[in-house]
Amino acid sequence: MSLIDVFRLTPWLFFLAVAVFALLIGSFLNVVIHRLPIMLQRRFKTECVNYLGEQHSALIDPAAAGAELAKQEKYNLVIPRSRCPQCGHMISAIENIPVFSYLFLRGRCRGCHSKISLRYPIVEAVTALLACVVAWKFGVTLAMVMALLLTFALLALTVIDFDTQYLPDEITLPFLWLGLIVNVKGMYTDLPSAVWGAVAGYLVLWFIYHAFKLITRKEGMGYGDFKLLAMLGAWLGWQALPAIIIVSSLIGSIVGISLIVFKQHDRSKPIPFGPYLAGAGWVVLIWGKLINDYYFHAILGMPH
């Protein structure tokens, strides 16, 4: 009997395995969320130094700038090992067990007893919860595995955009192509719908962006939002775009107005739209058919 057969015959074991796996992935997502923006910032700085060294040698000493960059510690998603930002205490394996280590340590560093951000176990727990919903929706199938990958990517993009107001191409573009690939044989939608979903997803927000800029002379969103909606269109098809846009706009408006009314957000500071797009995309991934049926039949009165 294969492992797949075991999971199908014992659903509780299947959900337990998914939850444990997702907790581990959630721990890795915390690393991605923290380190990827720093990695990109360092890369941009290196590219700027190289460009300025070539184009404006009178304004910058490329040798000195290059030496400064060379002194920086090697930094990626694996190196260096995780450590406390306050005292530099290296995080051991026993201190890195998702959620449980945080509870065992009572939310404090083992070395200096400074507080550990509550966001770390929250991200891990949310990852496990969303993964279990995906497992419930798709069962023991390849569609479930790919939906988990999309879920992990959307969660990482959500938190990174909240922190930095930036949606890394390093996540959106590979997942846009992956969405087209998984739909070659119609996993979530047919391939033509996926292609037109990617095209329409980008162009819809592109037109909204330029219309808003023409009217207000301000930028209402970034190009990362275009790529994120294109990515979701590639996974879910052009038919899902209206629901994604409506749900994300509704949630974004409610949250944005609430933050301003309760003085939790400065009106002059832009509110990232990516988290609402990502959240709406995940909701449509799970309940898209119900949403579309309700919209077209209950609201518009169209026949089944």
Ordered by start, the domain boundaries in the chain are: 3-104, 141-299
- The arithmetic mean of pLDDT across residues 238-255, rounded, is 88
Is the predicted pLDDT of residue 297 greater than 80, yes or no?
no
Is the predicted pLDDT of residue 239 greater than 60, yes or no?
yes
Is the predicted pLDDT of residue 72 greater than 80, yes or no?
no
If phi > 0 it is left, if psi is from -120 to 50 it is alpha, else beta; for residue 99 that is left
Classify burial at 240, counting beta carbons within 10 Å of its beta carbon; exposed 0-12, middle 13-18, buried 19 or more. buried
Which tokens in the block code for residue 269? 């500071």
Residue of higher predicted confidence among 233 and 247:
233
What is the SS3 assignment for the chain? Answer: CCHHHHHHHCHHHHHHHHHHHHHHHHHHHHHHHHHHHHHHHHHHHHHHHHHHHHHCCCCCCHHHHHHHHHCCCCCCCCCCCCECCCCCCECCHHHHCCCHHHHHCCCECCCCCCECCCHHHHHHHHHHHHHHHHHHHHCCCHHHHHHHHHHHHHHHHHHHHHHHCCCCHHHHHHHHHHHHHHCCCCCCCCHHHHHHHHHHHHHHHHHHHHHHHHHHCCCCCCHHHHHHHHHHHHHHCHHHHHHHHHHHHHHHHHHHHHHHHCCCCCCCCCCCCHHHHHHHHHHHHHHHHHHHHHHHHHHCCCCC
pTM, two decimals, is 0.87
Predicted pLDDT at 16: 96
Is the predicted pLDDT of residue 296 greater than 70, yes or no?
no
Predicted pLDDT at 177: 97
Is the predicted pLDDT of residue 155 greater than 60, yes or no?
yes
Angle at Cα 287 formed by Cα 28 and Cα 25, nearest 5°?
A: 10
Predicted pLDDT at 97: 87
Is the predicted pLDDT of residue 281 greater than 80, yes or no?
yes
